[in-house]
Chains A and B, each alone.
Chain A
Amino acid sequence: MANMAQAIRLALHYAETHMDLQDVFGQDVGEPLGGVFTATQGIKSAWNTPLDERGIIGAAIGLALAGDRCVAEIQFCDYIFNTIDLLKYAGNILWSTNGNYNVPMTVMTPVGAGIRGSIYHSHSFDAWATRLPGWKVVMPSSPLDAYGLLLSAIEDPNPVLFLKPKALMRVKGEELIPGEPEDEKTLKSMIDAPLGDRSQWRPQWPSVGKYIIPIGVGKKVQEGTDVTIVTYGRHVHLAQEASRHLQDVSIEIIDLRSLYPYDWGMVKESILKTKRVIFLNEDTEVTNFGEHLSYRTTQELFYTLHAAPRVLAGKNLPGIGLHPVLEENSVPQVEDIVQTVREVVSEVP
């Protein structure tokens, strides 16, 4: 099975050959590296830019205004913050021009902790991203979802932020991408660049097919009846692992996949069933996106709840410390999820 980096590569290849994707660019995304996570390796339309995040986002906006599809990468979301006004601008162009110009651009950037990335390779961006009206925001938790969401993002006529959970970039999937070789060694030999001199290397792309995951549609990854966990990205996996530690609790896990627009119908239906909910993510906890979902839950479902909605998120710290003790106490871990579930299911209305 492809890992997420390979899935992103396959999606970009499909898009540049079938969806008129013209440019994939950012720092180190072109040859020889193909991205710090190798997610753009072998992509013929990938090229390197100056180390200039504002230039990268500015160029993407300009290309989109000219009608050319592009995927721009900010190497780590930790370095996207100096482009925030450009992101805001991209999000308001259609609206502020009364529909004169739309901005079909995709920005992808790795997010989150989990790789011992220290203070400036561990930030999250989901809460910030959901405060950019006019953008759509997606985050996959599996290679197949990465493939389908990235194609959706590229196809979308609006600006889309594709947040890559960096801790999952080497995690293999459980479902094949359409056209993906069943033998992962075969796939690796076809599309992974060799170590050392790559000057003569060219990928041998499998004949992958179109697979679209509509933006705004979540995925129920686990059925349950006692409590709902609404999450996305790598915390889908941590929630599943926590569930394995909680055999006596029936946990429903929803992978939102799209943060904005989000699948409220799926969330609401689940909460109406379980009557208890935890919103789980690793961005900092104050003005966290989960707080919006929690707010909506209390506004619309208050009298059906059997426990107060919880937001389990990263501590409101300036950064993620490098030492494992610091990192693991900054963002939710499996044991934190287990504890929170215990607390929520023990509440008596």
Chain B
Amino acid sequence: MAGSKISNRSGTKSKTSLKSHGVTHPVAISSQANKTAAGTVKTAKTVGKKGKKPSLLLPSELLVNMYHLMVRARVLEERMIQMYRRGDAFFWIGGPGEEAFGVALGLLTKKGHGPEFDYLHLHYRCTPTLVAMGMEDEDALRLMMNRTTDPCTGGRNFSNHYCFPNWNVLPVSSPIGIQYGIGIGTAIAQRRRKNDAVTIITGGDAGSAEGDFASSMIWASRPGFELPMYITVQNNKWGISTNYDSQHGEKHVSDRGRPFGIRTAVHNGNDPIEAYLAIKSDLEYIRKTRKPVLSEFRVSRLYGHSSASGANRVQGEEDCLLNFEKTLVDNKILTSNECQKIRDTYFEDIREKAERIRSEPTPQKETLWDLVYANNENADWRKF
């Protein structure tokens, strides 16, 4: 059996135990997490009795499930990078490094179709969220390989540009930040129905410079017309090759919510437990108050922006999966061998799926004009 290709921080391939590199213990909560403009976020704290190991705040069964999902998402992304390198795909963009946040979000979403359920306006680093929601690995691979069987785009778009209407996963767009403005509309639809559903928006720190990000806060906080929007930013400190600190004077992106009276917080998005508890708290607040929240999650970008920059493992980035694995092993929830077996199993499973999907059909030119208009109404002027 081939070994897992999950990489450690030094960029080497590990077939055995993963190494943590002096990162903060995942159960510790960042100090900013409890400081908000419009209220206090109930923070997660390590709880433990003297002389005993701290509790991890979440049930072991859930933690193991999260670990499985994070591993699966990582293996899936790394497989897609390899597919790009092998020439099986034209381009890769994705979210290795955002598994802690993404999996937690996917698990906490009220999944379903229509305004009674959460709407997800995701950015193109959202594979972990979709994996946690139940996406089949094959569908990510079909999208990556532009097969007609790709349920999201029929071979028309890049990797990670998902859409699943049955789960209210709206189309992931390439234009940066527009999802923040489009989320206004789904939130209005939910507000009208007086339910507890939330419009969830994810995006990067660089995209927060777009005007649409400001639009989302302005529209979400109109007096008497507040919207149930969960505005999130996954701050990996990069916009392609431009770093956050060179372009942003604000200390935290989330600080920008304060003038609007929006509840804000900064969380360690590399810690799945903190991310889970923060998202859970935020969503509960929105479901109850029907008011927006702006939360910033500090995350890592482990393979750069996309295949355009090589998609090579980046040195020095904190790896949420390595950290989480160490936590689980240290707390005797899983053993190193069990972790290795999990990784190997997903590696082999997804490798086999990728091989199988290579033989699936590709788009044909006869379908070029299909679905420009609803009901396949003709859109070709030559036939008017």
Which residue numbers of A lie inside 8 Å of B, CB to CB? 22-23, 49-50, 52, 54-55, 57-68, 70, 85-86, 89, 93-102, 104, 133-134, 136, 156-158, 216, 260-265, 292, 296
Asked if B156 and A58 sit within 8 Å, CB to CB, the answer is: no
Known contacts A58-B215, A65-B170, A133-B379: does B175 contact A89 (CB below 8 Å)? yes
Residues of B within 8 A of A157 (CB): 373-375
Asked if B189 and A62 sit within 8 Å, CB to CB, the answer is: yes
Cβ-closest chain B residue relative to A23: B188
A57–B211 Cα distance when bound, in Å, is 13
Asked if A134 and B372 sit within 8 Å, CB to CB, the answer is: yes
**From residue A289, how far is it (CB to closest CB) to chain B in Å?**
11
Residues of A within 8 A of B184 (CB): 55, 58-59, 62
Known contacts A85-B175, A157-B374: does B165 contact A100 (CB below 8 Å)? yes
Determine if B103 is an interface residue (Cβ-Cβ < 8 Å).
Answer: no
Cβ-closest chain A residue relative to B150: A98
Within 8 A of A (CB), among B194-241: 199, 211-212, 215, 218-219, 222
A136–B186 Cα distance when bound, in Å, is 23
Asked if A60 and B185 sit within 8 Å, CB to CB, the answer is: yes
Name the one of A49, A67, A97, A136 contacting B163, with C-beta atoms under 8 angstroms: A97
Within 8 A of A (CB), among B348-384: 370-375, 377-379, 381, 384
Name the one of A55, A61, A86, A89 contacting B219, with C-beta atoms under 8 angstroms: A55
Residues of A within 8 A of B192 (CB): 22, 68
Cβ-closest chain B residue relative to A85: B175
A210–B164 Cα distance when bound, in Å, is 35
Closest 4 CB pairs of A and B: A62-B185, A58-B181, A98-B154, A66-B189
Determine if B187 is an interface residue (Cβ-Cβ < 8 Å).
Answer: yes
Determine if B112 is an interface residue (Cβ-Cβ < 8 Å).
Answer: no
Cβ-closest chain B residue relative to A22: B192
Cβ-closest chain B residue relative to A70: B185
A100–B167 Cα distance when bound, in Å, is 12
Residues of A within 8 A of B115 (CB): 66-68
Which residue numbers of B lie inside 8 Å of A, CB to CB? 114-115, 119, 150-157, 161, 163-165, 170-171, 173, 175, 178, 180-190, 192, 199, 211-212, 215, 218-219, 222, 370-375, 377-379, 381, 384
A61–B156 Cα distance when bound, in Å, is 20
Cβ-closest chain A residue relative to B180: A58
Residues of B within 8 A of A156 (CB): 374
A158–B211 Cα distance when bound, in Å, is 26
Name the one of B183, B215, B377 contacting A52, with C-beta atoms under 8 angstroms: B215
A296–B381 Cα distance when bound, in Å, is 10
Asked if A50 and B219 sit within 8 Å, CB to CB, the answer is: yes
Asked if A62 and B183 sit within 8 Å, CB to CB, the answer is: yes
Cβ-closest chain A residue relative to B375: A157
Asked if B185 and A94 sit within 8 Å, CB to CB, the answer is: no
A94–B163 Cα distance when bound, in Å, is 11
A157–B373 Cα distance when bound, in Å, is 8
Q: Which of A22, A97, A262, A264 has the most CB of B within 10 A?
A: A97
A292–B375 Cα distance when bound, in Å, is 26
Residues of A within 8 A of B173 (CB): 89
Name the one of B155, B164, B186, B381 contacting A62, with C-beta atoms under 8 angstroms: B186
Residues of A within 8 A of B374 (CB): 94, 102, 104, 156-158
Residues of A within 8 A of B211 (CB): 54
Name the one of B119, B171, B218 contacting A55, with C-beta atoms under 8 angstroms: B218
Cβ-closest chain A residue relative to B380: A261
Cβ-closest chain A residue relative to B189: A66
Known contacts A94-B371, A98-B153: does B181 contact A54 (CB below 8 Å)? yes
A265–B371 Cα distance when bound, in Å, is 23
Asked if B372 and A133 sit within 8 Å, CB to CB, the answer is: yes
A97–B384 Cα distance when bound, in Å, is 24
Asked if A65 and B186 sit within 8 Å, CB to CB, the answer is: yes
Residues of B within 8 A of A292 (CB): 381
Residues of A within 8 A of B181 (CB): 54-55, 57-59, 62, 86
Extra A-B contacts (11), CB below 8 Å, given A52-B215, A59-B188, A98-B153: A62-B184, A65-B185, A66-B114, A66-B119, A68-B188, A96-B153, A96-B171, A99-B371, A133-B379, A157-B375, A265-B384
Asked if A216 and B384 sit within 8 Å, CB to CB, the answer is: yes
Residues of A within 8 A of B163 (CB): 97, 100-101
Residues of B within 8 A of A101 (CB): 163, 165, 170-171
Cβ-closest chain B residue relative to A94: B371
Asked if A67 and B185 sit within 8 Å, CB to CB, the answer is: no
A171–B238 Cα distance when bound, in Å, is 55
Asked if A94 and B373 sit within 8 Å, CB to CB, the answer is: yes
Known contacts A50-B218, A63-B186: does B371 contact A85 (CB below 8 Å)? no
A62–B378 Cα distance when bound, in Å, is 25
12 A-B pairs in the complex with CB atoms less than 8 angstroms apart: A52-B215, A62-B188, A64-B185, A65-B182, A65-B185, A86-B178, A95-B371, A96-B153, A101-B170, A134-B372, A156-B374, A263-B384
